[in-house]
Amino acid sequence: MSKQQHISPPRLAKRFLRLYCRQEFLEEIEGDIYELFDRRVSQKPRRARWLFCWDVLRFFRPMNIKRIKTTNSNIINMTRNNFKVAARVLWKQKTNTVLNIGSIAVGMACFILIGLYVRQELSFDKFHDKGDRIYRTWTKEDYGQGQQFFYTSSPLPLAPTLEANIPEVEATVLVDYSNFLVGDGENRLNERVAFVSPNFFDVFSFKLLKGNVQKPLERNTIVLSEDYALKYFGSEEAVGKHITLQVNDNKVSYEVSAIMANMPSNTGFQMNMIVSNEDKERFYNPRALQAWFNIAPETFVLLRENTSAQEVVEKFPEMINSVLGDRIEEGQYELGLQLLEDIHLNPDFPAASMPVGNPRYVYVLATIGMLVLVMACINYTTLSTGQSIRRSKEVGIRKVVGAQKGGLIWQYLSESILITAFATLAGVALALFLLPTFNHLAGTQIAIIFDLQNLLLLISIILLVGIATGLYPAFVLSNLKLINILRGGKSGGRGAGIFRKSLVVFQLLLTIFLISGSLIMRQQLNFLQSSDVGYEKDAMVYVNLYPKEGANGMLNGIVSGFENAELLKARLSQYPEVSGLGAANHMFGSTGWTQVGFNDVNGQFRQFYVLATDAHFVDGFNIAMKEGRAFDEDMEVDKRESIIINQAAVDYFGLEDPVGKKLPGNDFGNHRIIGVTENFNFQSLHTDVEPLIIVQNLSPIFAGISDVTINDNPIPKVFFKYTGQNLLAVRDILDEAWSELFPNEELNFSFIDERLRLLYENEARVNKIAGVATVISILIAAFGLLGLTILVVNTKVKEIGIRKVLGASPITIMNILLRQFSIQLGLAFLISIPVTWYLMNQWLSDFAYRVDIGLLVFVASGFLSFLIMLSVIVYHAVRASRINPVNALRVE
Amino acid sequence: MKGTYLGEFEELVLLTVGALYPEAYGVAVMDEIKKETGRTVNISAIHSALRRLDDKGFVKSKMGGATNERGGRRKRYFELTSQGKKALDEAQSLRLKLYNRITDISLGGS
């Protein structure tokens, strides 16, 4: 028995029971479970304690739980009551509620989608744990006379030099990409492979899922993304398998060491296959490893904690001087650091492999998203201010009963917050529903993530929007003069009317601006895509070639590529649908053609683009010749030394009567200008046509230049015009010819007009998003107008009745209603013209070739908005004018 | 007033309260039900049923005297009210009435 005394019911359970249980039931409940406990404890003490807890939990039912004492607090009661009243009012005015919730929901959905896109753009590479210490190097070389080079890639010896000379540098990471053929034997795929320093995963925060997570990058190991593990090994376990890469001339077998989570879409690194660059000779030729003026990979630098980039940068000149002192003068070679997080949205630095977006577009879109939301808010404000007449009696009674002003304001605010909350829920649902469409349309890959941060953001948006929309109506309503209301006189001062009207004008202004803005954007894009670029681009196809095995170096690669081009051309010429065959080492639709520089006879630094082609480039693309002749296939001299230049080059070099002359440089090999082409735009229409020289043999040009910049694959491509009906059949033809000639390589071809469209992808994306926002804003404005029309018709029922009795025709009555809004629309339209003009000209100044903003755009958008207004108003106006005046006047 | 309907479990508890008079309190009712029907019922369910019956007016209750058992807590004793008795009678007679209508034919079937 004494043992039994020790064992008492669990303290915690007892306390919990006392905490929740209502006083009046506590004694009997406690008594009963104590009794049960006493009975059980003699048999199985441990079990008894468990059962005691279980009983306590089972008693935790609403009927036993204490009533919360604070329920009687006035604030909580009133708030509950407010929400109840709000729900009733909303239920009673269903049209109004639907319009309000509808427009805020649609606006919110639009805001959420655009916001997600903007957030993704702004969050580029901001997730790295050490992100605040990771920098990328940039270099500015300045030799005077316009001979300046600015690049964010870097020479290979830079990284070891930094590590050796600057103690603040904790680590460096080289990142480079190249296309390698992957696989063995048949079905080799051309893949973009990243080769990086072995410490890549230590510096950047990319998640490794399985395999050798500690040291994934060794000499002969490769890391695959989940997608690529699936692509190459299907459902099999990829780790430990082997994969063959053709790295330059060597076939190297790599073992899959680890699988990496797919890189998120908000990072500038887009890698699916990563190998280590530890064996540098495998990837770079020995000269490049030593060269300071050969730029290849991007170098990322991880600084030690608590060091400022400023301190480090200040040590650079000394370091550069010690390494390069004998080869450059003071100030000619400047090295700097750019924060990793800064790369994506800073177009002041030239792009290397990390994509750089235009921050302006991000801000434009963010603004559009905000504007749409603001329009939706205006709907609520105008409609509920308009409603205030109806609700003035309610306010009057409340005041008589003793409601304070603060209480009234809080009441109406809670109403608007309630509406916003509903609308936001609907908006999130709508956004989820529309997300795939949006991604497809805008070519983005955004996802809605339900994390705590987004949730908090959403809640704060609800509160903000709810308060912003509700504040004005709340003040108007609570400010109504008691006497006026109860006497039944007119309520709401003049000021309220003007405020409401100007809100409507503002809203219409935004709508018209968005309509004209997206019209102008579309015009510009159409102009870019359809404008005459000076060469044939419709149904032109090109095929990427590969150099033959064993062709080392760029020039040899190009030459052997042309040899392959001849094979493919001969094979393709057998098809009747193929005409205008030719080859060139760059193609339209990709920027970054070979650009070279040299010092001319006067010592001035000159730069031009150079393109290697076969004899059929000019006639294949139907490029107009201004003077001289094009290449002739049968003339040997053309293959050796003839060059063709464009008009821009003639102007640039200041040549007069250029045919038969030479370029103004000292070291060029034998060459002779045989023709001048009209300017054709070989880059994108963002820029003017620049000097271009077309050759069949690159050697004489390369002999006389001092530097080369290439940001495009320089291996030749075969191009042709496809004259068949079915564009899909191109693939069949090419597959057939290709598999015969190059069975081991992957076929890779594109249509030129498609590639050209990609050049304006950024603009097209913004235009599409803006287009969506415009449609939504039209919708919202229409909602608003509809609500206002119903309101006006309701308040003017008697006026209309009296007018009809006195003999007014339905037309007159419609006029009265239309006049209400026509003035506001007209005003909005007038203001929109200069605003649109100014803002859109800002945007257009990004383009070297652009449309003029014509009057037509404004006429069109004005007409469109008037039409929309008419179609929204007309139904209710007609109904109002048809109403039997007896019904209207009988009410009293 | 809604809720004068007597549920199956409520009826069982109500009967037990009547049968145990004057010693009907929570644990006793639970034990009795366990003894008579073999059903294991949690004590909280008994309390809920008793309180609902109280609300419906079928039972009334009073606190017993102080004891040294059960941690010194008093018991709440329940007893049938006339209304409760009536409800039981009605349930009983309804059951009998229907029961007597069961013919031999329907039994012969199985």
Q: Which of residues 25-64 of B touch A (CB under 8 A)?
A: 25-27, 42-45, 47-48, 51, 63
**Contact status, residue A812 vs residue A878, Cβ threshold 8 Å:** no
pTM tops 0.80, yes or no: no
Please compute the mean of the pLDDT values over residues A13-40 and round it to a whole number. Answer: 86
Determine the residue among A7, A28, A65 to mutate to test chain B binding: the one whose Cβ has the most chain B Cβ atoms within 10 Å: A28
Model confidence at A15: pLDDT above 50? yes
Predicted confidence (pLDDT) per residue in A371-424, tens digit? 888 888 888 888 877 777 677 777 888 888 887 888 888 888 888 888 888 889
- CB contact under 8 Å between A28 and B45, yes or no, is no
| Exposure class string for A212-231: b at 16+ Cβ within 10 A, else e | beeebbbeebbbbbbebbee
- CB contact under 8 Å between A28 and B75, yes or no, is yes
Cα A307 to Cα A169, A312, A442, A443: the distances in Å are 9, 8, 41, 40
* Whether B69 contacts chain A with CB within 8 A: yes
- List the A578-584 sheet strands across, edge first: A578-584, A717-722, A540-544, A749-751
Q: What residues make up the domain containing B89?
A: 8-101
Flag whether B89 is in a domain. yes
Please compute the mean of the pLDDT values over residues A591-600 and round it to a whole number. Answer: 82
- In chain B, the number of structural domains is 1
Flag whether B106 is in a domain. no
Beta bridge pairs of residue A182: A189, A245
DSSP for A190-216 reads EEEEEEE-TTHHHHS---EEEE--SS-
Model confidence at A522: pLDDT above 90? no
Flag whether B81 is in a domain. yes
CA distance linking residue A345 with residue A360, whole number of Å: 9
Predicted confidence (pLDDT) per residue in A551-577, tens digit? 666 777 788 888 888 888 888 888 888
Confidence at A145, pLDDT banded by 50, 70, 90? low
Q: Most confidently modeled of A181-195, A619-633, A699-713, B64-78? A: A619-633
**Contact status, residue A341 vs residue A477, Cβ threshold 8 Å:** no
pLDDT at site A549: 66
Residues 6+ apart with CB under 8 A from A128: A134, A203, A204, A205, A340
pLDDT at site B16: 93
User: What CATH number should be reported for the domain holding residue B24?
Assistant: 1.10.10.10
Predicted confidence (pLDDT) per residue in A488-507, tens digit? 555 445 556 777 788 888 88
Q: Any idea what DSSP says for residue A515? A: H
Question: What mean pLDDT, rounded, does chain A reach?
Answer: 83
CA distance linking residue A106 with residue A779, whole number of Å: 8
ipTM, two decimals: 0.87
Confidence at A600, pLDDT banded by 50, 70, 90? confident
Beta bridge pairs of residue A222: A256, A275
Model confidence at A757: pLDDT above 50? yes
pLDDT at site A841: 87
| Lowest mean pLDDT, pick from A231-235, A286-290, A700-704 | A286-290
CB atoms within 10 A of CB A43: 8
Residues 6+ apart with CB under 8 A from A141: A148, A149, A150, A293, A332, A333, A334
**Contact status, residue B6 vs residue B91, Cβ threshold 8 Å:** yes
Reference A504, options A81, A828, A832, A878; nearest CA is A828
**Contact status, residue A118 vs residue A457, Cβ threshold 8 Å:** no
Beta bridge pairs of residue A208: A260
Q: Where are the domains of chain A?
A: 2-67, 75-124+386-490, 131-342, 493-531+754-892, 540-726
- CB contact under 8 Å between A31 and B75, yes or no, is yes
Per-residue pLDDT of chain B (110 residues; tens, 9 = 90+): 445 678 889 999 999 999 998 889 989 999 999 999 988 888 999 999 999 899 888 999 888 887 777 878 888 999 999 999 998 998 899 889 998 888 766 555 44
Flag whether B37 is in a domain. yes
Could you give the dihedral angle defined by the CA atoms of residues A879, A881, A883 and A887, in that order, rounded to the nearest 10 degrees? 130
Predicted confidence (pLDDT) per residue in A866-883, tens digit? 888 888 888 877 777 777
Establish, for the pair of chains A and B, how many residue pairs have beta carbons separated by less than 8 Å: 54
pLDDT higher at A876 or A542: A542
Please compute the mean of the pLDDT values over residues A192-198 and round it to a whole number. Answer: 88
| Ramachandran angles phi, psi of A507, nearest 5° | -65, -45
- CB contact under 8 Å between A58 and B63, yes or no, is no
Flag whether B108 is in a domain. no
Cα A741 to Cα A82, A567, A573: the distances in Å are 80, 8, 14
Percent of chain A clearing pLDDT 90 (strictly above) = 3
Strands A692-695 and A605-612: parallel
- CB contact under 8 Å between A27 and B44, yes or no, is no
Distance from CA of A7 to the nearest CA of B (A): 13
Confidence at A323, pLDDT banded by 50, 70, 90? confident
pLDDT higher at A429 or A286: A429
DSSP for A687-718 reads S----EEEES--HHHHHT-SEEE--S--S-EE
Number of helices and strands (H, E) in chain A? Answer: 29, 22
What are the tokens at A272? 């699916």
Nearest to B43 among A36, A38, A63 (CB): A36
Contacts of A23 in chain B (CB under 8 A): none
Flag whether B59 is in a domain. yes
Percent of chain A clearing pLDDT 70 (strictly above) = 94
Strands A189-196 and A169-182: antiparallel
Flag whether B2 is in a domain. no
**Contact status, residue A876 vs residue A789, Cβ threshold 8 Å:** yes
Distance of CA A868 to the CA centre of its chain: 31
Cα A457 to Cα A421, A465, A623, B46: the distances in Å are 13, 12, 56, 48
pLDDT at site A1: 39
pLDDT at site A283: 81
- CB contact under 8 Å between B48 and A31, yes or no, is no
| H or E stretch covering A303 | strand A298-303
**Contact status, residue A419 vs residue A97, Cβ threshold 8 Å:** yes
First to last CA, chain A: 89
pLDDT at site A173: 92
Predicted confidence (pLDDT) per residue in A289-315, tens digit? 777 776 678 899 999 888 888 888 888
Model confidence at A3: pLDDT above 50? no
Flag whether B109 is in a domain. no
Q: Which residues of A touch B (CB under 8 A)?
A: 25, 27-36, 38, 55, 58-59, 61, 63-64
- CB contact under 8 Å between B47 and A36, yes or no, is no
pLDDT at site A2: 41
First to last CA, chain B: 42
- CB contact under 8 Å between A35 and B76, yes or no, is no
